[in-house]
């Protein structure tokens, strides 16, 4: 176990700056997920920590050591790759024990440690098989076994579940979480799947265009996103956005939408000057079918476009002010496609963003 | 309904005919080698003989120390095969995985050397051997054979290595391998198909090479097997039987090596040719 620190880390490929002045501190034993869209620099960051990519500037510190210019083998890290990267010519046992063997561990001790890892990951029956004889889930576990057997200071995961089917992914997610609780090794996990990040990580780092947009616990990112980008990236289905203009008294924050309809957000968002353009953000779960408790100025009216029953709840796509909003409603809801309905807004949980910068207001 | 042969049948038929044509010289060689001593020439284009006799093989073994020449051939061939595998796989690994100034030009320069026919190189190689004192030594053949075999082997290895996923090497790096360790422990064990192609090709060309051996080797005790048939050539090829018996013996090791490695060779050619 060790702390990991990135200090003003830069990475350039030719003239393209992939990572720009990244600062990040990861505590001992913490599970941190790096998320973001393709090309945001999350994998490059992980590869720089691993020593597979040279840093162009700044420093990477693991424990007390500056490892920025050390080769991968001297960083005391282990990595699980998206494609598992198992050695096809070696058996499962040889794959798991390869790193130990290279480090000069005695043969008996290698066998003991491989056995231990195989026991934890339920791989004992397949120790003598070659990777091509294994299922996707087993290969994934072998890759994890290879990483954990050396008891490294840091685990690095590069989208390790993206090659698995949905059911196996959920199962393996639980396995990784259990394993982290058991080993308490500092873990950095790259994924583009925000659900994976939310369910696994102690803290999530949202990246965009080679920069960190926000770092926080899953709860913080969900509840208080610092930008429209983070708000849209965290949460599924993603947050609804509607462009509006602030009107009327500053203490009530009344919004007017493109079609002239209005919504009053009340005192929570007070203080914005009249005439200011804003982007309203509301999560699907913070919309509901309007009832008597919803004031008339706290409703949005729209036409039902699509109904998606999910079993536990139903997603309704409603066209409001020319934009389609998604609302997460109860499983059984008496609504038909083409109905005009009124949606009540949980106004205290609505977000406002600056349309130009995308930053939260 | 008229029966039309499937494309597969047509392909098999064409390939069978071609294989038959290819086999004719081999059959002629066998026919003459097995011809009884009294017969002067085989009939039907050299394919028909009256009776079968191993007498020519007996003469071949009596007249020349076949085993000694066979060992000479093996020493020269096996050493050049090992050198070609080691040198070309290391060079190809560098070509496949590292970017360095002039790398591409160097690779295409290497390809260009494939266009030179061996006869064109005889005089320069003879001069080089003479300068370095390698005439009439094993190294006088081993080194040129290695140099001539490396370009083809580099091409085969480079395209094969390029198809190996880079993540495997990265995993090995993290596991603790050096670059040389990756080549030795990961790349080479995965490259058996390419290695078998290189081994077969290099074995075949080195074992069968004649002209360079003729101008380099003078001592009978160092001559490879390919020079033995010359004993029987004479002005009018007076003894075709023992000559073709020796030629038959020369083909056996190559056929054995091919049979041992052909299973990998087919996969190797495909894997090396198609970058996937």
Going residue by residue through chain B, which has 276 residues, state the pLDDT in tens, using 9 for 90 and above: 567 888 899 999 999 999 999 998 888 888 888 888 777 666 666 677 777 888 888 888 888 888 999 999 999 999 999 999 999 999 999 999 888 888 889 888 888 888 888 788 899 999 999 999 999 999 999 999 999 999 999 999 999 999 898 999 999 999 999 999 999 999 999 998 899 999 999 999 999 999 999 999 999 899 999 998 887 776 666 678 888 899 999 999 989 998 888 777 665 444 433 333
For chains A and B, count residue pairs whose Cβ atoms are closer than 8 Å.
Answer: 53
Does B64 lie in the same domain as B49?
no
Minimal Cα–Cα distance from A128 to chain B, Å? 18
Q: What are phi and psi of A316, to 5 degrees?
A: -115, 125
Look at residue B272 in the predicted model and tell me its pLDDT.
Answer: 37
Q: In angstroms, rounded to a whole number, what is the distance separating the alpha carbons of residues B81 and B73?
A: 12
State whether residue B186 sits within 8 Å of chain A by CB: yes
Does B83 lie in the same domain as B9?
no
Q: In angstroms, rounded to a whole number, what is the distance separating the alpha carbons of residues B262 and B265?
A: 5
Mean pLDDT of A229-255: 85
Does B83 lie in the same domain as B13?
no
Minimal Cα–Cα distance from A257 to chain B, Å? 51
Look at residue B1 in the predicted model and tell me its pLDDT.
Answer: 57
Judging contacts by C-beta atoms under 8 Å, the chain A residues touching residue B194 are: none
Residue ranges and CATH numbers for the domains of chain A are 4-233 (3.40.50.300), 240-353 (2.40.50.140)
Residues 6 or more apart whose CB falls under 8 angstroms from that of A162 comprise: A82, A191, A192, A193
What is the three-class DSSP state of A64? coil
Look at residue B274 in the predicted model and tell me its pLDDT.
Answer: 30
Whose CA is closest to A249, among A271, A231, A282, A226?
A271
Contact A102 B173 (CB under 8 A): no
Look at residue A114 in the predicted model and tell me its pLDDT.
Answer: 94
Residue B153 sits in a domain whose CATH number is 1.10.3720.10
Please classify residue A2 by burial: count the beta carbons closer than 10 Å to its beta carbon, then call 0-12 exposed, 13-18 middle and 19+ buried.
Answer: buried
Q: Beta partners for A156?
A: A79, A188
Longest dimension (CA), chain B: 75
Contact B174 A98 (CB under 8 A): no
Minimal Cα–Cα distance from B82 to chain A, Å? 22
Does B124 lie in the same domain as B38?
no
Contact B173 A98 (CB under 8 A): no
Structure tokens at B218: 């003078």
Contact B168 A51 (CB under 8 A): no
Q: Higher pLDDT residue, B5 or A105?
A: A105
Per residue in A152-164, pLDDT (tens digit) is 999 999 988 887 8
Tell me how long chain A is.
361
Q: In angstroms, rounded to a whole number, what is the distance separating the alpha carbons of residues B263 and A337?
A: 63
208-267 in chain B: CB under 8 A from chain A: none
Does B105 lie in the same domain as B239?
yes
Radius of gyration of chain B (CA): 23
Residues 6 or more apart whose CB falls under 8 angstroms from that of A119 comprise: none
Residues 6 or more apart whose CB falls under 8 angstroms from that of A60 comprise: A4, A5, A6, A7, A9, A48, A49, A66, A67, A68
Does B107 lie in the same domain as B195?
yes
- Mean pLDDT for all residues in chain A: 89
Contact B176 A99 (CB under 8 A): yes
B48: containing domain: 1-53
Structure tokens at B262: 């052909």
Judging contacts by C-beta atoms under 8 Å, the chain B residues touching residue A85 are: 165, 167-168, 170-171
Judging contacts by C-beta atoms under 8 Å, the chain A residues touching residue B173 are: 51-52, 71-73
Whose CA is closest to A203, among A62, A33, A41, A1?
A33
Q: Higher pLDDT residue, A230 or A332?
A: A230
Does B194 lie in the same domain as B161?
yes
Contact status, residue B205 vs residue B122, Cβ threshold 8 Å: no
Mutate to test the interface with B, among A48, A54, A67, A85 (most CBs of B within 10 A): A85
Does B144 lie in the same domain as B212?
yes
Does B230 lie in the same domain as B202?
yes
| Ramachandran assignment for A171, one of left (phi > 0), alpha (psi -120 to 50 degrees), beta (any other) | alpha
Query: Among all chains, which residue has been given the structure tokens 């790398």?
Result: B103
Radius of gyration of chain A (CA): 25
Does B83 lie in the same domain as B4?
no
**H/E element, A23:** strand A16-26
Per residue in A201-213, pLDDT (tens digit) is 999 999 999 999 9
Mean pLDDT of A112-138: 89
Look at residue B53 in the predicted model and tell me its pLDDT.
Answer: 85
SS (H, E, C) chain B: CCCCCCHHHHHHHHHHHHHHHHHHHHHHHHHHHCCCCCCCCCECCCCECCCCCCHHHHHHHHHCCHHHHHHHHHHHHHHHHHHHHHHHHHHHHHHHHCCCCCHHHHHHHHHHHHHCCHHHHHHHHHHHHHHCCCCCCCHHHHHHHHHHHHHHHHHHHHHHHHCCCHHHHHHHHHHCCCHHHHHHHHHHHHCHHHHHHHHHHHHHHHHHCCHHHHHHCCCHHHCCHHHCCHHHHCCCCCCHHHHHHHHHHHHHHHHHHHHHHHHHHHHHHHHHHCCC
Minimal Cα–Cα distance from B166 to chain A, Å? 9
Q: How many domains does chain B have?
A: 2
Question: Which of B173, B178, B190 is nearest residue A88 as measured by Cβ atoms?
Answer: B190
Residues 6 or more apart whose CB falls under 8 angstroms from that of A169 comprise: A161, A196
Per residue in A69-90, pLDDT (tens digit) is 999 999 999 999 988 899 998 9
Question: Which of B177, B186, B189 is nearest residue A73 as measured by Cβ atoms?
Answer: B177
Does B98 lie in the same domain as B76?
yes
Minimal Cα–Cα distance from B162 to chain A, Å? 16
Please classify residue A243 by burial: count the beta carbons closer than 10 Å to its beta carbon, then call 0-12 exposed, 13-18 middle and 19+ buried.
Answer: middle
Does B99 lie in the same domain as B1?
no
Contact B175 A73 (CB under 8 A): yes
Q: How many CB atoms lie within 10 A of CB B208?
A: 17
Q: What are phi and psi of A57, to 5 degrees?
A: -170, 160
Judging contacts by C-beta atoms under 8 Å, the chain B residues touching residue A52 are: 170, 173-174
Q: Higher pLDDT residue, B40 or A134?
A: A134
The residues of A whose Cβ lies within 8 A of any Cβ of B are 50-52, 71-73, 77-79, 81-83, 85-89, 98-99, 102-103, 146
**H/E element, A136:** helix A136-148
**H/E element, A49:** helix A42-50
Contact B165 A85 (CB under 8 A): yes
Look at residue B46 in the predicted model and tell me its pLDDT.
Answer: 66
Look at residue A201 in the predicted model and tell me its pLDDT.
Answer: 92
What is the three-class DSSP state of A220? helix
What is the three-class DSSP state of A353? strand
A27 pLDDT more than 60:
yes
Contact status, residue B193 vs residue B267, Cβ threshold 8 Å: yes
Question: Which of A85, A98, A103 is nearest residue B170 as measured by Cβ atoms?
Answer: A85
Which residue of B lies nearest to A103 if distances are taken between CA atoms? B176
Look at residue A249 in the predicted model and tell me its pLDDT.
Answer: 65
Q: Kindly state the DSSP code that residue A272 receives in the 8-state scheme.
A: P
Alpha-carbon dihedral sign for residues A201, A204, A208, A209? negative
Minimal Cα–Cα distance from B169 to chain A, Å? 8
Upper half-sphere CA count for residue B221 (Cβ side, 13 Å)? 1
Q: In angstroms, rounded to a whole number, what is the distance separating the alpha carbons of residues A171 and A159?
A: 15
Q: In angstroms, rounded to a whole number, what is the distance separating the alpha carbons of residues B78 and B76?
A: 6
């Amino acid at each position: 176990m060790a702390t990991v620190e990135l200090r003003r880390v830069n990475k350039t490929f030719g003239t393209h700056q992939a990572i720009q002045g990244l600062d990040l501190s990861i505590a001992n034993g913490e599970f941190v997920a790096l998320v973001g869209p393709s090309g945001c620099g999350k994998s490059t960051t992980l590869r720089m920590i691993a020593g597979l990519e040279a840093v162009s500037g700044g420093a990477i510190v693991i424990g007390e050591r500056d490892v920025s210019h050390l080769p991968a083998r001297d960083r005391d890290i282990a990595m699980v790759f998206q494609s598992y990267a198992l050695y096809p010519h070696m058996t499962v046992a040889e794959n798991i024990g390869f790193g130990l063997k290279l480090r000069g561990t005695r043969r008996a001790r290698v066998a003991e440690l491989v056995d231990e890892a195989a026991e934890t990951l339920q791989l004992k029956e397949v120790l003598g098989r070659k990777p091509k004889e294994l299922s996707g889930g087993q290969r994934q576990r072998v890759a994890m076994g290879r990483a954990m057997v050396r008891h490294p200071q840091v685990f690095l995961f590069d989208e390790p579940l993206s090659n698995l089917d949905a059911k196996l992914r959920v199962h393996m997610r639980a396995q990784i979480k259990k394993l982290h609780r058991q080993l308490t090794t500092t873990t950095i996990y790259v994924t583009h799947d925000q659900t994976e990040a939310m369910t696994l990580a102690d803290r999530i780092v949202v990246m965009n265009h080679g920069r960190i947009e926000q770092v926080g616990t899953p709860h913080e990112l969900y509840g208080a996103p610092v930008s429209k980008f983070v708000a849209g990236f965290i949460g599924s289905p993603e947050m609804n956005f509607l462009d509006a203009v602030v009107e009327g008294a500053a203490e009530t924050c009344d919004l007017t939408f493109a079609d002239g309809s209005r919504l009053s957000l009340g005192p929570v968002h007070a203080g914005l000057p009249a005439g200011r353009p804003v982007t309203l953000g509301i999560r699907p779960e913070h919309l509901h079918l309007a009832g008597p408790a919803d004031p008339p100025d706290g409703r949005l009216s729209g036409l039902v476009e699509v109904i998606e029953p999910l079993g536990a709840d139903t997603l309704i796509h409603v066209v409001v002010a020319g934009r389609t909003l998604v609302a997460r409603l109860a499983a059984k809801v008496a609504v038909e496609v083409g109905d005009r309905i009124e949606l009540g807004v949980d106004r205290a949980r609505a977000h406002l963003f600056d349309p130009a910068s995308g930053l939260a207001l | 309904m008229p029966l039309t042969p499937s494309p597969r049948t047509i392909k098999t038929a064409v390939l069978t005919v071609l294989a038959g044509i290819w086999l004719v010289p081999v059959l002629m060689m066998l026919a003459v080698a097995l011809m009884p001593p009294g017969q002067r020439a085989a009939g039907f284009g050299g394919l028909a003989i009256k009776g079968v006799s191993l007498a020519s093989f007996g003469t071949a073994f009596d007249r020349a120390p076949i085993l000694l020449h066979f060992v000479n051939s093996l020493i020269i061939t096996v050493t050049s095969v090992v050198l070609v595998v080691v040198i070309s796989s290391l060079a190809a690994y560098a070509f496949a995985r590292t970017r360095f100034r002039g790398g591409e030009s160097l690779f295409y320069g290497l390809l260009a050397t494939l266009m030179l026919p061996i006869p064109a190189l005889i005089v320069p190689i003879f001069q080089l051997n003479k300068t370095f004192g390698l005439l009439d030594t094993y190294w006088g053949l081993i080194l040129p054979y290695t140099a001539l075999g490396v370009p083809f082997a580099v091409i085969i290895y480079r395209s094969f290595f390029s198809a190996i996923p880079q993540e495997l090497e990265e995993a090995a790096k993290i596991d603790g391998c050096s670059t040389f360790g990756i080549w030795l422990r990961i790349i080479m064990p995965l490259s058996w198909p390419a290695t078998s192609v290189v081994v077969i090709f290099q074995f075949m060309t080195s074992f069968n090479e004649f002209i360079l051996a003729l101008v380099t080797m003078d001592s009978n005790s160092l001559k490879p097997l390919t020079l033995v048939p010359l004993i029987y050539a004479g002005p009018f090829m007076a003894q075709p039987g023992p000559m073709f018996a020796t030629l038959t013996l020369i083909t056996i090791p190559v056929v054995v090596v091919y049979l041992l490695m052909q299973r990998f060779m087919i996969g190797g050619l495909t894997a090396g040719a198609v970058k996937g």
